[in-house]
Amino acid sequence: MGHDPPKRRAAGPDLSTIRNIGIIAHIDAGKTTLSERLLYYSGRIRTPGEVHDGNTALDWMPDERARGITITAAATTFRWLEHRVNLIDTPGHVDFTAEVERSLRILDGAVGVFCGVGGVEAQSETVWRQADRYRVPRLAFVNKLDRVGSDFGRVVEEIRTKLGATPLPLQVLLGSEADFRGVVDVLERVALEWDEGDRGAEVRRGEVPGPLRDEVERARERVVETLVDRAPPAAADRLLQRYDRGEEIPAAELRAAIRSATLAGRVTPVFAGSALKFRGVQPVLDAVVQYLPSPLDVPPVEGTHPETGKPATRPPDPDAPFAAVAFKIFHEKYGDLTYLRAYSGRIREGEHLWNPRLKKGMRVGKIFEMHAEDKIPREDLVAGGIAAFVGLAHAQTGDTLCVKEAPILLEPPRFPQTVVSMRIEPKGAADREKLEEALRCIDREDPTFDWVVDPETGETLMQGMGELHLEIVRSRMKQEFGVEANVGQPRVGYRETASVPARAEARIEREFGGRRHYGHVVVELSPAGDATEGPRVRIAVPPEKIPKPFHPAIEDGVRSAAASGPNGYPVIMVSVTVADGSTRVPDASEIGYAMAATEAVTAALGRGHPILLEPIMRFEIQVPEIYLGGVMNDLNGRRAVIAGMDQIRDLRVLRGTVPLAETFGYTTELRSLSQGRATCTLEPARYAQVPPEVAARVLGS
């Protein structure tokens, strides 16, 4: 008979020894391999797995191991240099960008991984921008430097030019490509080498080879010059004084300046290695501890009071009122797991939490420290920590969980809209209930997945970020829920908008539900090119005309109208101003104003010369020179716009945009055009008006 493992107590109150980090990168840059090495050298696992063998600790889902890609963000914990590191390995494929978004929302630092051959690729830019948005300090690790065509200097320069960062290389390479054997630490002026035979367990330290000494001194001087220019004033001034006097600057003082500059987001320390060949990983572990923030280095988290709307903060203090963000929900057979990042306070098993969104309390069940799919019971979760909870029913990704006596609403992650849909139906009528249950479970855990039943056809449509995303959903239904399903061809998630301003008025005076309901609004609708997530709503009416308690109902009514525009698609890129209205006592009601707002906006949309919008994808294609002509001809037939072309050795790198509707099945076609040697990445860029001839075909179908 089995026994639960012993419960692990939370880390003590010394938050300075905690690091919450993520590994972020373009697909196939080596994130999971690096994560595996971090776990191995820290002693968290005994044997490092390999992605190509399908036996890594963090890619544990069957689809991840079969496909060799990361699909879901996996959490684990390990120790290094007496520090506790909470690590999240994130996906690199754009279809699973929600996993990166929700992880970066709650992490304090990150390691960006770049392929030494491919450099800064398309999804690298996407995840970097996501980290910029949440002001996450980063390190960079240039991986795969043992490969033919790898170029450390070129990748460093691309980090500068493509990402707008200030890279700070702290190492010089020992050898290159197949002869790459180690690095020189320019701060300590020491050579570090690794032997693949012992899996890099021993770091051999030695003198800098004579031919490299001048290069190392120049690299060290560039570090000092960069810090003088980019470090916060106090650190920069100290270095400048020593530099002007020609004094030797100790490595410890340089590390302190690098830390302050990294925490301020002014520099990105850059490291070199080959994770697959077990080279260069331990310095990254050291740098996580030395340069990335602890919870104490992060400003107190900001939020609002859920009732008053006034600003509120929570310090990273175990003795403060508890506050956390639910950043991930994962379905399990015996109860969903809710992953929390705690920002303040302490919560124990059996205590109660308050969900301000639901205005509902819930009892904390079991608390677990996670190692991918493995669960280690804990007694509590303390400020600065990450854990998974059982028993937080109805919590959603982005919810704040706090104590009722000190409520707060924290910023949730922001997720992109779905762009692809597919028809899905059970293979047998008896499976319909099982199908809907599976869809509900996946919908709850994945904020970029949705499903609807078409009221006209009765078809069930599942909606997601791409073909691969929905293919994985279908696979999970079979593996986890035992549901066999048929799916149709992918469909584009079109949107619509108004092309000209319009004004409309609606007055509701109706009796139902045993009482009279009144609502009256005048709306002004106008195009808004930056409102891509739905209508922006502004109520510019004095409270004597429309009392403030009815404003939320009006906003709900506006969004209800925008959910399906004149052509049946969701409405985006519009601004709605409630410019006038009236009230009537005692008949004014929330229902009345919601209905009036819906009717008025529906009318305004019809008068606003609605146009159809389609998602436009940003692409990056790497193709050998000999196949370039055929690939470009094919792109021209897909309404693509080529914005630029670079050359890396014998490869051409094409960048541009293409309508999503033209990309279905493109990976297979590209493989055929290049005999399997070209690669392509796609990511959502924007919405644009559909050409008239295409719109006529879409709306007529």
CA 185 to chain centre: 32
For the chain, the residue count is 701
327: helix, strand or coil? strand
In CATH, the number for domain 301-410 is: 2.40.30.10
Tell me the pLDDT tens digit for each residue of 11-65: 455 899 999 999 998 888 888 899 999 999 999 988 887 776 667 777 666 666 6
Could you tell me what percent of the chain has a pLDDT over 70? 94
Per-residue pLDDT, averaged over 428-449, amounts to 86
CA 491 to chain centre: 24
Q: Do domains 15-297 and 612-700 have the same CATH topology?
A: no
| CATH of the structural domain 612-700, one choice from 3.30.70.240, 3.40.50.300, 1.10.287.3610, 3.30.300.350 | 3.30.70.240
Contact indicator for 408, 306 with CB cutoff of 8 Å: yes
Distance CA 112, CA 136 (A): 11
pLDDT at residue 676 in the model: 83
Domain 420-491: give its CATH architecture: 2-Layer Sandwich (3.30)
**Buried residues in 634-646 as b, exposed as e (16+ CB within 10 A):** bbeeeebeeeeee
Helix or strand run (H / E) with residue 71: none
pLDDT at residue 452 in the model: 86
32: helix, strand or coil? helix
Report helix angle 233-244 to 251-263, nearest 10: 150
**Buried residues in 492-504 as b, exposed as e (16+ CB within 10 A):** bbbbbbbeeebbb
Nearest CA among 118, 108, 130, 135 for reference residue 24:
130
Q: What is the mean pLDDT of the chain?
A: 89
pTM here is 0.81
Tell me the pLDDT tens digit for each residue of 647-675: 877 788 899 999 999 988 888 888 889 98
Tell me the pLDDT tens digit for each residue of 265-314: 999 999 999 999 999 999 999 999 999 999 999 999 999 999 888 999 99
Helix or strand run (H / E) with residue 460: strand 460-464
Tell me the pLDDT tens digit for each residue of 399-424: 999 999 999 999 888 887 788 888 99
Tell me the pLDDT tens digit for each residue of 204-236: 999 999 999 999 999 999 999 999 999 999 889
Q: Which CATH class is domain 496-608?
A: alpha beta
Tell me the pLDDT tens digit for each residue of 458-506: 788 898 888 888 888 888 888 888 888 888 888 898 999 999 999 999 9
Instruction: Give the residue extent of every domain in the chain.
Output: 15-297, 301-410, 420-491, 496-608, 612-700
In CATH, the number for domain 15-297 is: 3.40.50.300
Distance CA 434, CA 133 (A): 39
Q: What share of the chain is helix, strand, coil (3-state, %, to 5)?
A: 30, 30, 35
